[in-house]
Structure 1
């Protein structure tokens, strides 16, 4: 899916925010708020992503409340859905910065680690370096400054060739801070000096003010108090102008330390309070914690026990908030061990091994998935929807929260349905504004008070069977990577169970069909026998019909040829009778003379010779009469694998081969394909095999048949059929393709087999058939066939065989 460009009015807003982001963050913040609202209303996703990136950068001056971080996650899900890896990496950096400022170091580390992966995928060096800087800041916050320096040096090495001055400034500033904490003051000042030069070149007031504050820290460490105060005054002026609140919190805290060093505890405590106000307003929890510890220390020195205790208790509370990850992990383990609440891993493991998955129906599976989703993902609910492909609608099978105001049948919309059919999950931190869910929010999610949702498709063999919907009710939820992973594992388990359900359905169908087949077996066998008898009669009648048709075609010409000798014989016989009567009359009258008798004998001899000659001619004509019949066979044209067709034909001949010692070897290449008539080709090969079994080998003979093929050129192949049997005598080779010619007439041969082969090869298949002498004896037939057979249409299929 491609992302449409930013609309013109919103592009002006984006440009304005970029221009003032580092000069007046308060004004930039207001522009961001208005721009995000407009982009959301117009569904301008490109503008929303662009503004959210700037929003995250200016937010640290106003703190990072949940609503602001939710906005960043909303932009993140948009960039992920459009596969905008570069924007995704930048947003992960911004989110890392946001949760880091709130001292949620676990989430920050997760965001920046993910950013490193996405940046590598997008080949985005800058985002990768920003993530390295962020991770270094976590180590800084955990007081592991040496590790932070190593990470920042790595980032600096990659950043310098890029000529990105903003990036280099941030690296140098953070490097200076960690060098300072390692007491490497000269190197820290060197880094700060280069950083402030860059900030002044860019005219970034907030960066100039922060760097001046950092230089003042080094001044204080080196006991240059007046120089430190001078740098702080300059920094305060600039940061006030640019609304850089967390920097102002640090400035007042450092000034408090200087006043305390000058024995001005009252002034120092006043400065700490100012710093606390700015820290709280900016949401900088770790800075607020450090200032509270400073306040407790100064109050104790000022003998103000109540203030010291109150400040220390508040600081410890923030420390527990800042570093809750280990404690939370331990709590989860304890709840798991005590059986109070199983861990997500245990929930998924127990579900995966639940024997019900092997035999449950769809309703039971929906209950299992939804109930375990609520256990594995804290605070979430779930529902399962079955997809009806014919209607393109979803039917709710089960939900573990009441849904009386939501119809059980729903249209999920084209965009969401297509993505689910393609196997894509949808992670919507804000279902009202996600690009796949906003247009069905009012009909599906709002009535059930669903604010955040994860939709996971359950598919078998690319077909969508259902959707598991993990839901957050009444409040926004930014789904963590662990929660999404747990949801995906639930979907995988559900898909496995669906496969079992489908398998059971198939088994039941097969059992039912088997029962039906067994029930109808007797009737079916009777029908087969009846149809077989009818077919045999029809085939016999067809052969006789074809013979008579051939004879009918010969009658006219043959009658014409036979009429002449028979007519001559009849004339001669009539003449002889007349001569006999004439001689008889002469004898009765007593007029017989020698000359008359000699004349009679001469005439009768000529007549007898004429009769003999014409009778012999008629006899020759009759003995040369042959019976012929012509037929053609065709089948549907399609693309097929030649090796497979040969193999199937051999298989169909298994009955004929059952009690024979004849072996057939299929040497046709496996990759050879034709666009022709497989039925006709099967009949050709079958007739060849039958011909070999009848004529080539005796019943008890051992024999071998070899079928091979090769491609002659781009348009033709050569198919070779060879046996090693008795062969075909030379004197009949020219006649083997004639109709009704056979050497075994009356012994099982009809004389139609090879004639039919010839007709099919030269007609239907569009090829050429040759009979050659086999080098090692036997019969060798060579078929030259086109790869693309000519199109033919026939009304019937002739199954004549020997």
Structure 2
């Protein structure tokens, strides 16, 4: 949708408002209100947006009420609906200015941050500078004037390039304010004079008046009181005419300070009363706070303890509103917006993609990781520990500690519990190292000398092998680690693991290159070594798959052993009873007292006992038969012709002992006439992993948890198997990583992160098929397996995997 031009009915009003914005604020305000209402009636969105931008500059005389700021957001909504990025940026700038004046700094930061984003979309350098200017103002309000000067100097450089005199005037003006706060009086005065020249040329009377007040501040600081008084008179005359209420509050306050210097305390208080009224009217909380502090100081000079204390309390109450408890977080967010510091996510991303990381050796890697960890986690220290020869050796710590031995190490023999935990891949999150079960034994030897209170230790693992750990350390006071910090630390460990893999690969390639260089001298030996290394790499995946298969088979056997106890126990009890009855019958025969009734009773009981033995023996036999078939298939890599429904049923029977108490319904609706010539053991492994994945991850609070297994022939060559659940489903972020090795949402709770990866590898590689996932968060998941009815021969499996 495209916005139309400003209607002819409102063109004159819009132009008049723009002209009066800096010279006749009261008149401009009234005209803005009337024009905005008329623009609504006429549905003149272009006029509404244009007037709203100027309206933001004149509403300070009303104290920036919510109603007025709501109008600015209404205009912003219109600009966004028409995709007017330039106007959207301008409105975000004035919204930021409005809430900034009300000391709502969080809202101001958000508005100016959004303005920076929009300026990129609109390619609008002007809006970019205005946003940077706003950020500088917040630093000024946060009393970080040195950083404000840095930000405003950067904005001035870009404004110079643009040649925008209005923008330059505001930036130079505020640069002067912060130079004054830092007591660089000569530079502040120089900037004020330049800004006033621009303001005069632009006919911005309100800014001219405020600049006279700013010059008076500098002259008063350097005891040029008469000159300061003259400039305050000039400022008051102009600001009264232009209804610049915020500036009048500052003028009255400064005049009160001069009266107090002269000992005219009654006049000083009268000026401060006028200043207080103006500050309240304009809604300028930070000015009101300064006025109360000034009253407190003057009351102290007078010896009026009651007024001194009361006004000091009032100032502190406003300070608590202006500077909330999250000031540190606000400044951190401000630093990211201003480009002074990068966000942790950006630093981590840059590190992960760093060319330096790709080419680093182990020592260079440890230095790179530790230095970036300090920036990302904001910790006092970070260290990298390498695992070798049954001990952890510190490779690097940043910043280095001169008083600490450079040859720190932790022996697995001396600290077995700690070492086992790290080697198993466990995170150690110690808010207090003196009281954590894994770190207190290390306290005296490794933490006490450096006054380390808290540590976060993240293992570095490459495949199934432990290669060391990262240690993030906080000194002098306890630090309670947050989930975000643990996540960033874990990601740093993953970056380190990836880099180590590259180092391993580089070392391997270097060895290959060395062998190639000797090819002419000993080609036979070279070929043998290359073949050995290639075989090691090729067999790594097979080893991983076989380990997982054997682990699954072990779990099945353990479950079946428990299941077999009942029929075998019943059989043993029945056979013992039968033997006992036989002995009693023999005894009756031997003593010649056998009665017909006794014999009839024996025959009836022995028949019942034999039936009981037969039933339980048959039940055990069936269980063992199913287990035997699955065990043979699981252990075998041979291809054979089998019925799909029967194979899935046998797999589900083997899973039944472990699912007995889960209250989960599994439905197998595969047609009985589908046959495959494939690898049943691999298919059983896949079905087992997918069902176990659903059991572990899908069902949290679902009622009637159900897993459905179905299949259909796509054509003569392919069969499609679906395994669905009505569980919690997955988010897009989890779905994108679900088949990655070692990815699990149950880390530290039994999840290995290999189940779905193994299933995917078997489908793609061994069975020559495809595995897809369809999932909706909160509804459920469906795994779709597409298999050829005739599986590839063993020699083709590696090629299938390679092609994928």
Q: TM-score with structure 2 length normalisation?
A: 0.42
The structure with the largest alpha-carbon Rg is 1
